[in-house]
Structure 1
Amino acid sequence: MAEFPELPVVVLGAGPVGLAAAAELVGRDQQVVVLEAGSRPAAGVRSWGHVRLFSPWSELTSPAGIALLGATGWQHPDPDGYPTGAEWVGDYLAPLAVALGDRVRPGHRVVGVSRRDRDLLVDSGRGDQPFVIHAVVGSTAGEQTIVRIPARAVIDATGTLGRPNPLGAEGFPVSGEAAAAERIRYAMPAPGTDADRYAGKATAVVGSGASALTALIALTSEPLHTQGSRVVWVLRRGAVGGSYGGGEADELPARGALGIRVREAVRAGLIEVVTGFRTVAVEQADDQHGSRVVLVGSDGRRIADLDQIVGVTGFRPDLSFLSEVRLELDNRLQAPVRLAPEIDPNLHSCGSVRPHGHRVLAQPEQGLYLAGMKSYGRAPSFLAMTGYEQVRSIAAVLSGDLSAADDVQLVLPDTGVCGGAGLFDEATSAGGCCAAPAEPQFVELGAPAATVVRDRAAH
């Protein structure tokens, strides 16, 4: 297998884990290039900057990132504080990108990874060729150019945020979902900018886990909850069960607080709960209040008189640009096969995932690694500290330090609940697997439930 020491390691994605990977490689005097599809680093985190994370600062900064920033006079935020996404960017991720300098290249949307002069089929001489990254440079509205960037290794840390799951329980968009696109959001409501969209309106939240709980808290708190507001929580499961999360048993207190607050809002009549509902269609209808949408279930039930829908049913990885390299992924989770048994939401919690590094994440295409949320595929409950340890191990092996690469150490906080995405109507019990959805994992710590407007108590 050729080494190509003159070529850089190319990291795909300038999010938290991609930037951490670059910092690790720089700390080991390795050449690295980071390609980011967005116009600025950490574009994904910026898109949910209004949301407060449930991990504290102490778990959101990587050791290599801290070391690189230390030389610039940067000061670590309060380790016990809980930043918003915008604060995470402004106080850490953006300064880290600046410290990495021109190694970080925004505006490079990767559309292909291959071996030089080889497609997926060709065996001959495959291992003797470097990787080639195919990236589109330029705005979507203007002229675009495809550039070819050679690499000795590739770390795919592109995450899954750009590919939300559709509303349907069968994995495909349902009838009418595309036509009602203006009425559907696959993102967290933003109290600062979304008042006109949600205040005094009827909104259905489809999904379970931390993202759904975060949305429900925002929609039952000022300023999004006002007179006339209606909030419907639509669950595929036959009972709420573990969808409230671990509560006081959660080892991340801010994450546990999510379910406690939503449970209080349900008891106060601020949230209608519809269980066992699997969406098969979205219909649009006009009434005296204007245009409305209707959710239709596979059992014939209808949730009518809705103004909009928030879809928080998880995410899935984009594997399209990896079609010409050789992958070994679990056929359900779309995660590396050696990692999949550890993160299967039917069996494990995020706290029970064993430490893992380069050996678990490596692909048959030697020198290619999936890291960060991309490594979890469709599985939920990824934490930044997991990704930081992943890329520390990968950077170590790419620099020839096998001992450090294999010395993987990680202790993750448990949720205290069981109930994964694979469950249907089964009862859930304490102490098994995470019930939180995939990226990002966060909580909006806004107005307490006791202060929300209670004008929809009948609901």
Structure 2
Amino acid sequence: MSECCVKGQGLPVAIIGGGPVGLAAAARLAAKNEPFLLFESAAAVAGNIREWSHVRVFSPWRYNIDRAARMLLEAEGWTAPDEEELPTGAELVERYLEPLSRSPSIQPYLRFNAKVTAVGRKGLSKAVTKGRERLPFVLHVLQDGKRKVIEARAVIDASGTWGSPNPANSGGIWTEDELYVHDRIVYGIPDVSGRDRARYANQKVLVVGSGHSAIQALLDLERLQAEEPATRIVWVIRKPDVAAVYGGQENDGLRGRGELGIRMRKLVESGIAEVWTSFHIESFKEEGSGITVTGERHGKTIRIEGIDEVICSTGSRPDMDFLKEVRTDMDSAIESVSALAPLIDPNVHSCGTVRPHGEKELRQPERDFYIVGSKSYGRAPTFLMATGYEQVRSVVAALTGDWDAASNVELELPETGVCGVGAGGSGCCG
């Protein structure tokens, strides 16, 4: 079955991903009366955010609402939240993304339970050059158990990285021993105080990672320990100095993130958690009723025994498997869009020192194909929603022929604390 046209017009722009950036792209296209279809693999918008709905983001509402989306919603009678409030993931969905998805300009063109399994040019493999730019894209979509082929004139991939977590192994490689104990590991930010409370209460819990997702998990475990004193917390990071995790604290341009750093410093100073710095995980092994985690620290082998549960907050990486027949140019180290790599390298940049960028930097060898949002940043944790909104504004301007607007990229971000490699969660929480 082929679905090729929308609203009686020509081929649509296909948007992959129904999160904040994908919906912002939809709002931009709707404002220009440009046909589009948006494919979201979950049963409703923002499937990824719903998995961390309990987490409060560190950027206030004023950085989290796209301008075109705001204009569309306000024209329909919507009232924006207080721009200085810090929303939870659930509030982002309920107060902004769901109303946006219900807009008559967007709702008819959303496809849920629709997983894009492959993208290519109609009738050509990636190896064929001649004539490919004149051919439409084809998207192979699995929707509600049925396979469809969709034609599109352009593709915006805003699918994010949340569903592709990094392993706990410090070498970044998925090992058999880690996969063997996967039922004892949660990747991301579990709801320790809510739906997952019973899993962690009175257990010895290992948290891996040094970014904001890890901090969130540790602070949640601290609260749980106050109610369930037998709960034990172990934290391992590769950084040699735990103070490097605290970020800007009082000087952070995002108050919510600064407060996380302050609370984290107090947790460490209290001795509530057993902290291992310069710890490089090498293996996992079930021994008795627990897991033994073996790592290298200052040239010595260290064994942490009796672990009941592991929370792995080591960030994520882009899934490029379904794009194998699209010509892409991605950085070999960060796995970001290549032109972005020197601008966002987390070894150099924080979230607030990333200079504005748009269609020009996001442009791929495959004409009219763009990777945007957190996926465009690859493994770099320095992405903020506001960055993604400016990306799609520029991209949509280019796709609709407004090259002056596409090249005039402006982005005002708060000065921030340091975001480093492994900070997994900056994208989802900013």
> TM-score when scaled to structure 2?
0.94
Q: Which residue of 1 aligns with 2:55?
A: 51
In 2, Cα distance between equivalents of 1:243 and 1:164? 20
Please give the residue correspondences for 1:289-308 in structure 2 after superposition, counting only pairs within 5 Å: 291-298=289-296, 299-308=300-309
- Alignment of 1:390 with 2:382, yes or no, is no
SS in 2 for 1:177: helix
Q: Which residue of 2 aligns with 1:213?
A: 215
CA apart distance, 1:241: 3.4
Select between 240-249 and 402-411 the one with higher mean Cα deviation: 240-249
Q: Which residue of 2 aligns with 1:274?
A: 276
In 1, Cα distance between equivalents of 2:109 and 2:199? 40
In 2, Cα distance between equivalents of 1:210 and 1:154? 31
Q: One-letter code of the match for 1:321?
A: F
In 2, Cα distance between equivalents of 1:247 and 1:75? 32
* 1:195–1:223 Cα contact (<8 Å) kept: no
Number of matched residues?
417
Q: One-letter code of the match for 2:424?
A: P
- Alignment of 1:115 with 2:121, yes or no, is yes
CA apart distance, 1:264: 0.4
SS in 2 for 1:208: coil
CA apart distance, 1:223: 7.0
* 2:243–2:265 Cα contact (<8 Å) kept: no
In 1, Cα distance between equivalents of 2:425 and 2:199? 25
In 1, Cα distance between equivalents of 2:22 and 2:143? 19
Please give the residue correspondences for 1:207-356 in structure 2 after superposition, counting only pairs within 5 Å: 207-222=209-224, 226-286=228-288, 291-298=289-296, 299-356=300-357
Q: Over residues 61-100 of structure 1, what are the superposed CA-to-partner deviations in whole Å (9 max), with x where a residue is unaligned? A: 1011111112221110111111110111000001111111
CA apart distance, 1:189: 2.7
Q: Over residues 329-365 of structure 1, what are the superposed CA-to-partner deviations in whole Å (9 max), with x where a residue is unaligned? A: 1111111111110000111111111111101101010
- Alignment of 1:172 with 2:173, yes or no, is yes
SS in 1 for 2:239: coil
Q: Which consecutive residues of structure 1, in runs of 5 or more, have no partner in the other structure?
A: 139-143, 422-434, 444-459
Cα 1:333/1:292, change in 2 over 3 Å: same
* 2:211–2:426 Cα contact (<8 Å) kept: no
Q: One-letter code of the match for 1:149?
A: I
SS in 1 for 2:223: coil
CA apart distance, 1:439: 4.8
Equivalent of 1:95 in 91, 95, 99: 99
Q: Over residues 242-269 of structure 1, what are the superposed CA-to-partner deviations in whole Å (9 max), with x where a residue is unaligned? A: 1122211210011011111011011111
Equivalent of 2:424 in 416, 437, 458: 437
Q: Which residue of 1 aligns with 2:142?
A: 136
Q: One-letter code of the match for 1:58?
A: R
SS in 2 for 1:325: coil
| Higher share of residues assigned helix | 2
* 2:212–2:426 Cα contact (<8 Å) kept: no
Q: Which residue of 1 aligns with 2:404?
A: 403
* 2:290–2:306 Cα contact (<8 Å) kept: yes
Q: Over residues 380-435 of structure 1, what are the superposed CA-to-partner deviations in whole Å (9 max), with x where a residue is unaligned? A: 12110000010011111111111111111002123233x732xxxxxxxxxxxxx7
Identity of aligned residues (%): 44
In 1, Cα distance between equivalents of 2:111 and 2:43? 9
Q: Which residue of 2 aligns with 1:447?
A: none
Q: Which consecutive residues of structure 2, in runs of 5 or more, have no partner in the other structure?
A: none
Q: Which residue of 2 aligns with 1:203?
A: 205
Q: Over residues 262-289 of structure 1, what are the superposed CA-to-partner deviations in whole Å (9 max), with x where a residue is unaligned? A: 1101111111110111111111122xxx
Cα 1:373/1:386, change in 2 over 3 Å: same
Q: Which residue of 2 aligns with 1:192?
A: 194
RMSD over aligned CA atoms reads 1.6
Q: Which residue of 2 aligns with 1:150?
A: 151
CA apart distance, 1:132: 0.7
* 2:385–2:427 Cα contact (<8 Å) kept: no
